[in-house]
A and B are shown apart, each in its own frame.
Chain A
């Protein structure tokens, strides 16, 4: 057991050293960031496009034209736009964390619990982006949008059920108290 954990520590340490070496070589090649563009040098996706990426409206219109070639092209194009948008969003998240780290590391009153909270928020967002990227690759942006809407409906239903249960419990308690 101890041998296995030692081996894991050794391998993790080696991987971390690799990360330090890669980061060091990337830092040497770092160029000043372009204004209004993300890290890959691409311009930010306009907000009016963003609302269309996962929407079914355009898809319904294209399907109405009954052209298999057009449908295929639409799916391909929409998929690449969605992937670019997710990549831009995750690089925006990383930029926020980088800026935070650069400022926070010099602060003398830095609070570990707050830092942990921020890190968890950051990790959750990056994981969401990763899951979205995987979903887009596997099934396309329209499916991701549909799944998200389904998940939201489910969460709303659970919340409503919980509220109803809470109200019913409270009423039951009030009845019990009034009968005493």
Chain B
């Protein structure tokens, strides 16, 4: 009963999110994010039909669509990165390097899994694979959000909502997948599905209307000369270090 409620509740919220996006013109501003939501809505159709007509094949259909959703989720992270850092080429470069490193690690880990797991469709193995992939996504988001915080990148309400919601979704998934049992329905099973309803509500609040991403304040040419700027910052920090030493040793 509860799982039915979560299922239909999630679908209703997803459809409402898509309708609002179409009404406010958010669809063309965040196409990958709404593409992801659309995919999540559509994937329920084959899942539902398989559950109804051929229950034995449900595992295959579920995990195929789940892995495709994971791949679509990576596109959401990419869209956040692309839009938020459009005006910040320097920060974008650093984040690109970090993400490339994280995804190279993920690729290596994935390759190792392919060679060690031969039965991807078995419940326990599939849960383990999803947990691994979600963990890598989590690491990528941690890197992205840390650099956003370090460089004080402004988001705007819409993008902040997408990032907060998706990060919460990944954090919830990773934690639940650590504890959820491969068979049966315990607390973590419901937490796993129920957390998505919370995420959808968060998205709905942040994406009810369009809010522009704040423009980057353009600075002078001197500040754009990175080497001069870096040298000045290092000099200032060294100055503070000397000041601290002098004060304590006086």
- Identify the A interface with B (CB < 8 A): 2-3, 5-7, 9-14, 16-17, 19-21, 23-24, 50-55, 85, 89, 92-93, 96-112, 114-115, 117-119, 121-122, 125, 128-129, 132, 144-145, 148-149, 152
Measured CB to CB, the closest approach of chain A to B69, in angstroms, equals 18
Give bound CA distance, A122 to B90, whole Å. 19
- B153 interface residue (CB < 8 Å to A): yes
Q: A115-B94, A145-B248, A152-B249 are in contact. Are A103 and B237 (CB under 8 A)?
A: no
Give bound CA distance, A98 to B153, whole Å. 11
Q: List 14 A-B contacts (CB under 8 A).
A: A9-B135, A10-B178, A20-B160, A54-B250, A55-B250, A98-B152, A103-B224, A104-B91, A106-B90, A107-B89, A107-B225, A110-B90, A117-B234, A125-B244
B230:A7 contact, CB within 8 angstroms? no
Which B-chain residue is minimally distant from A99 (CB atoms)? B233
Q: A145-B249, A152-B249 are in contact. Are A2 and B132 (CB under 8 A)?
A: yes
- B171 interface residue (CB < 8 Å to A): yes
Interface of B is mostly: helix
Q: A17-B168, A20-B149 are in contact. Are A104 and B237 (CB under 8 A)?
A: no
Beyond the given A96-B237, A148-B249, could you list 20 further A-B residue pairs with CB under 8 A, ordered by the A residue number? A6-B132, A6-B138, A13-B141, A16-B142, A24-B160, A51-B246, A100-B229, A102-B217, A103-B219, A103-B224, A104-B226, A104-B229, A105-B90, A107-B223, A107-B229, A117-B234, A118-B233, A121-B238, A125-B237, A145-B248
Chain B residues 204-250 with CB under 8 Å of chain A are 216-219, 223-227, 229-230, 233-234, 236-238, 240-241, 243-250
- B150 interface residue (CB < 8 Å to A): yes
Measured CB to CB, the closest approach of chain B to A133, in angstroms, equals 12
A89:B243 contact, CB within 8 angstroms? yes
- B93 interface residue (CB < 8 Å to A): yes
Give bound CA distance, A92 to B237, whole Å. 10
On chain B, the residues within 8 Å of A103 by CB distance are 219, 223-224, 229
On chain B, the residues within 8 Å of A114 by CB distance are 226, 230
- What's the A-B contact tally at a CB cutoff of 8 Å? 189
B234:A14 contact, CB within 8 angstroms? no
- B151 interface residue (CB < 8 Å to A): yes
On chain A, the residues within 8 Å of B163 by CB distance are 20
Which B-chain residue is minimally distant from A102 (CB atoms)? B152
Measured CB to CB, the closest approach of chain A to B112, in angstroms, equals 11
Give bound CA distance, A76 to B107, whole Å. 58
